[in-house]
Structure 1
Amino acid sequence: MSAPLPSPPRRSVGALLTRRTGFAILVISLTVPWLTLAWLVRNERTVSSPASRPAVAPTAPAVPPEQQDGREGNVHVTSGRWGRLESTRVVIEPPDEAIAFEVAVYDYTSWFFPGYTEATLDELFVRADLSPTETAYFRDASHWVIEPTLIRLDVSKAIIVGLRPATRRLLYAALAVFPENLAQHSPASFRADSSEAWFAASGLTAHTLSVVRPLLYRRGDSLLFSDFLLILSDIKTPEQRELLARTLGRSQSQMVKLRLRPETDIDAVVAYWSTLQHRRNFEPMLRSLLRQSPDATVDILHLLPPTARSLLYTYAPPPESENELQRDCHWTSLNFNLHEFDERYRDVALSFQAYRTEYATVTTEPALGDIYLFVTVDNMVVHSCVHLAGDLVFTKNGSWEGSPWVIMLLSDVMALYPADNPLTLRRIRRRI
């Protein structure tokens, strides 16, 4: 495994600050990982080589014949050995302590292109179909800083604001590959067909929306936003700035209930949700509910292992210091079935070591606790989440404390990741 390149100093950042530390966390990072990590695979049982994988975006696993998935009105239903699960999508907003920020006027920002030459960067600009004004600006050598390992381009606010959506999408997709460009690498993101869905009931004024909407861009089924601090001084009031931060930080989750009916196979349900541990003590509760009512429900929260149960729908506290390692998706996946949290997995290197040495790839029917890895053709793992049942997964989309632990449809999680970069969905299971 190779570590990410360090982020060089920059003069302008797209950042949110926590109140307790004042530490810049570049752009709201609710829906994408806090950084992309290289997993140089040496164990064929864990991840296959890039040549053996198709260069396509991940697709959801095939649905087993005994599983039934569908919708009944606004309710998503999945049925199988785990019982009948009914879920509805809800939107969660971050807590106050996660959305504090400082307001400053930024008239430009810096873009970083590691490994680029002047010729390859010029090729990118040609593909971006720049306007004559943008072409002249980007080719002006006074805006370039050429270093041994990268090219830095200082870009004015006027140029950034004026980019056409297609141009912004292409340029930001190129920037997103590199952790140095955290504004594009970890943008605010929301799965929606239109900005109206993202900003619904937000309280944002027409003026605020007129500032933000031209800067939105799309990847796959998600809308993204990368220029928070660049435009923050254009938002007129503190109230509107806070509402904007809270809205951009919205996260989607599924509220899931187990439906109990006379035909429910309680033994099968208990066996499924006890897969990773001794027979759970929720069996008496399920049988009691069924005796009291022929049509009862119980929150899936009560079926989860202890650590996951304590995390679901909650937020992590702000870090104590700038150097404190956060609880990201990998910490979440590896702690899912533990009785006590193992804080070693805040260290990404240890998380990846655990994936390599303690887990193996599986292609059989998914089981409770399996881990999905989102892997690029270069063996970069960009996210992990935990299989629950059917097409439901347990996930934390980012390390920022404004990113909650939630249940999502696997297809919704996949929609949060750039379709421009081919990904493979790899499922691994702890070795016995």
Structure 2
Amino acid sequence: MTRYFLVLRVLIVFGSAMCVFGENQHFKLAIGARSRLISTPYGALPDSQFSEQDSDSELRQTHPAHDGPWGDLEYYIFYLQHPNTEDNAELFSEQMYWCFPGHTEAEAIRKLEKIGISKSVLQKNSYMSIVSKELRIVPTGRLIMTLTPEIRSRLRMLLRRWPEKNPYYAYPIVIESGDPVSWYTGAGLTLQSAELIRSLCYSQKGIVVFSDVPYVLSRITDPEERNSFLRSLFRTRTLMLRLTINDDSRLNSIRNYWAIDNRRKEVLPIFNSIAETRGVEKLDVIHLLPSTARKRLYTFPEKDSKIYCHLACMEFYGIVPEWRDVHSDEWADVFKTYFIPAKGDLQFGDVVVLFNQETDEPIHSTVYIADDIFYTKNGFLSYRPWIFMFWSDIISLYGFNEGTYAKVYRLP
């Protein structure tokens, strides 16, 4: 099967999302052409997005990955949903706010004026509050509804600088089909609620998103419809990976690929056992992950754990930093402390970090597994599990930020 490589300094476009790889990196990223189902963004995808035929045929089949040093790999798609969807409704406040850490009221207003929200409008349609010594601006429903898509987009670019304080702007809901009305009516919402969501949508690099989840919840009063909306937020699509071990001539090289970080003593017995057991040829890749990642994969974090992508990458190697609350712009130095720039082809365990080209702040980080599949934790919210995900879909979620580029790090 043909393999496609994304090489140094090439602009990569996935739909409307773009990623520029840093010129100081010397690596290749294997990307394969996928079916429509595989190439769509992950996240809260309602059943209605795919036809019944697509859903039945694709979700019940295994698909071959591209050939490579990782061996004969296959995958199938399945969905994860938080076990306590209704109980976790409290995770979503019904009060929308814009948080400005370290800002005075005057400073925050000036920044909002620059993106098109005037001081007079703010004074009439919002109020200020201080929560944990941080300024919050609470907009009224009238202000939320009168914002134009252009202003919503600029507001997101402003507030995403503080992702833990403004999670709905740092991690907006992606409407991959581009049609929020059909998406949400298919997920069980009324036409009125779906039209409300449509009016709140805006575009980021051609991708339709929305951020006003608390406001939507405040407008939906029917308990069953609220649960339908919450289920659409909690549901996550992921992959199960299996390795076929039936080629003795490649067995040693395949074992070497998966034996990162001096883990040969852990990996070799697994491969040997599979190879020597008659009738057993397939190995779930979860057994080849380091212990912490093996424990985390396909699970949801505790409610208040706030484990986000960068911490998940460190924990992949069993590194539990004391500075868990390090500011986002400091993570670049953290990666340099523990890793070195990667050279050559991507290897199992490489950490790929997406940066904002304007600020050089890390936007998202993820761990390479094989082919174009990564281990990732998308955001710190407790309804976001640790999952396997395609690179093209990660770009669909994070690559719509302006001037995104990637760097690759490896254990020394």
TM-score normalised to the size of structure 1?
0.68
In structure 2, how many angstroms separate the alpha carbons of the residues matched to 1:348 and 1:329? Answer: 13
Determine the C-alpha separation between the residues in 2 that align with 1:382 and 1:234: 31
- Given the alignment, which residue of 347, 372, 388 partners 1:367? 347
Match of 2:71 in 1: 83
Q: 1:176 aligns with which of 149, 160, 172?
A: 160
In structure 2, distance between residues paired with 1:299 and 1:72: 23
Equivalent residue, structure 2, for 1:278: 264
Q: Which amino acid aligns with 1:371?
A: V
Of 328, 347, 356 in structure 2, the residue corresponding to residue 376 of structure 1 is 356
Structure 2 gaps of 5+ residues are 1-8, 12-16, 37-57
Matching of residue 138 in structure 1 with residue 121 in structure 2: yes
Q: Work out whether 1:430 is the aligned partner of 2:391.
A: no
The residue type equivalent to 1:386 in the other structure is: V
Structure with the bigger percentage of helix: 2
Give me the whole-angstrom Cα distance separating, in 1, the residues matched to 2:366 and 2:115: 33
C-alpha displacement of 1:274: 1.1
**Alpha-carbon deviation of 1:93?**
2.4
The alpha-carbon distance between structure 1 residues 421 and 414, as it changes in their structure 2 partners (threshold 3 A), is: same
Q: Which runs of 5+ in 1 are unaligned?
A: 1-51, 126-133, 320-324
Partner of 1:268: 253
Alpha-carbon shift at residue 329 of structure 1 (Å): 1.6
Name the amino acid aligned to 1:58: C
Contact in 2 for aligned 1:81/1:272 (Cα 8 Å):
yes
Change (3 A) 1:237 1:429: same
Aligned residue identity for 1:95 = P
Kindly provide the amino acid, as one letter, of the partner of residue 101 in structure 1.
Answer: E
For residues 248-291 of structure 1, what are the alpha-carbon distances to aligned partners after superposition, in whole Å with 9 as ceiling and x for unaligned?
A: 233332222223455872222111111321241211243146x5
Equivalent residue for 2:222, pick from 213, 222, 237: 237
* Larger RCO, structures 1/2 (Cα 8 Å, 6+ apart): 1
Specify the code of the residue in structure 2 equivalent to 1:344: E
Match of 1:189 in 2: 173
Change (3 A) 1:200 1:363: farther
Do the aligned residues in 1 keep the contact of 2:185 with 2:191 (CA within 8 Å)? no
C-alpha displacement of 1:217: 2.7
The residue aligned with 2:52 is: none
Distance, in Å, in 2 between the alignment partners of 1:68 and 1:183 is 29
The superposition leaves residues 296-318 of structure 1 with CA deviations (integer Å, 9 ceiling, x where unpaired) of 53322122222211111011122
1-structure distance, mates of 2:209, 2:26: 29
- Secondary structure at the residue paired with 1:80? coil
Cα pair 2:125 2:142 within 8 Å, conserved: no
Name which of 273, 284, 287 aligns with 1:302: 287
Partner of 2:48 in structure 1? Answer: none
- Residue 428 of structure 1: CA displacement? 1.0
Q: Are residues 223 and 285 of structure 1, via their aligned partners in 2, closer, same or farther at CA, if it must alter by over 3 Å? A: farther
* CA-to-aligned-CA distance 1:389-418 (integer Å, 9 cap, x gap): 121111111122211000111221122125
> What is the SS of the residue equivalent to 2:307?
coil
Worse overlay, 155-164 or 358-367: 155-164
Q: Greater shift after overlay, 279-288 or 404-413?
A: 279-288
Taking every aligned residue pair, what percent have the same amino acid on both sides?
22
TM, length-normalised to structure 2: 0.71
Confirm or deny: 8 A CA contact 2:313 2:365 kept in the other structure.
Answer: yes
Whether 2:302 is the aligned partner of 1:317: answer yes
**2:88 alignment partner, one of 81, 84, 99:** 99
Could you report, residue by residue, the CA deviation over 1:16-35 in whole angstroms, capped at 9, with x for unpaired residues? xxxxxxxxxxxxxxxxxxxx
The one-character-per-residue Cα deviations of 1:38-97 (angstroms, maximum 9, x if unpaired) are xxxxxxxxxxxxxx999x9425799859x6834479536222010132234433222316
Q: Distance in 2 between matches of 1:70 and 1:168?
A: 33
Q: 1:297 to 1:214 in 2, by over 3 A?
A: farther
Structure 1 distance, partners of 2:206, 2:73, is 25
Measured after TM superposition, the shift of residue 165 of structure 1 is 3.2
How many residue pairs match? The answer is 357
Q: Is the 2:356–2:362 contact (alpha carbons within 8 Å) kept by the matching residues of 1?
A: yes
Q: Deviations over 1:175-226 (max 9, x none)?
A: 3334586155334433623337864863334343233232233324654332
Distance, in Å, in 2 between the alignment partners of 1:153 and 1:393 is 37
Contact 2:181 2:195 in 1 (8 A): no
The 3-state SS of whatever aligns with 2:115 is: helix
Q: 1:117 to 1:84 in 2, by over 3 A?
A: same
Aligned CA distance change for structure 1 residues 365 and 357 (closer, same or farther; 3 Å): same
Instruction: Tell me the distance in 1 between the aligned counterparts of 2:139 and 2:252.
Output: 62
| 293, 297, 311: which one aligns with 1:331 | 311
The reply on whether 1:255 has 2:240 as its aligned counterpart is yes
Aligned twin of 2:189: 204
Q: Matches of 1:104 and 1:274 in 2, distance apart?
A: 44
The partner residue of 1:421 within 378, 396, 402 is: 402
Q: CA deviation at 1:155?
A: 3.5
Q: SS of the residue aligned with 1:317?
A: coil
Per the alignment, residue 47 of structure 1 pairs with none
Contact 1:175 1:184 in 2 (8 A): no
SS of the residue corresponding to residue 416 of structure 1 reads helix
Deviation string, structure 1 residues 90-145 (Cα, Å, up to 9, x no partner): 33222316723289875x755759596877754532xxxxxxxx879638788697
Cα distance in structure 1, aligned partners of 2:317 and 2:215:
41
Q: How far 1:292 sits from its partner (Å)?
A: 2.4
Q: Distance in 1 between matches of 2:320 and 2:110?
A: 47
Matched letter for residue 90 of structure 1: F
Q: 1:426 Cα shift?
A: 0.9
**Does residue 358 in structure 1 map to residue 343 in structure 2?**
no
Determine helix, strand or coil for the equivalent of 1:384: strand
Q: CA deviation digits over 1:358-382, x for unaligned, max 9?
A: 2121232211111112222322112
Q: Where do residues 49-60 of structure 1 align in structure 2 (5 Å cutoff)?
A: 57-59=18-20
Change (3 A) 1:167 1:386: same
* CA-based RMSD: 4.2
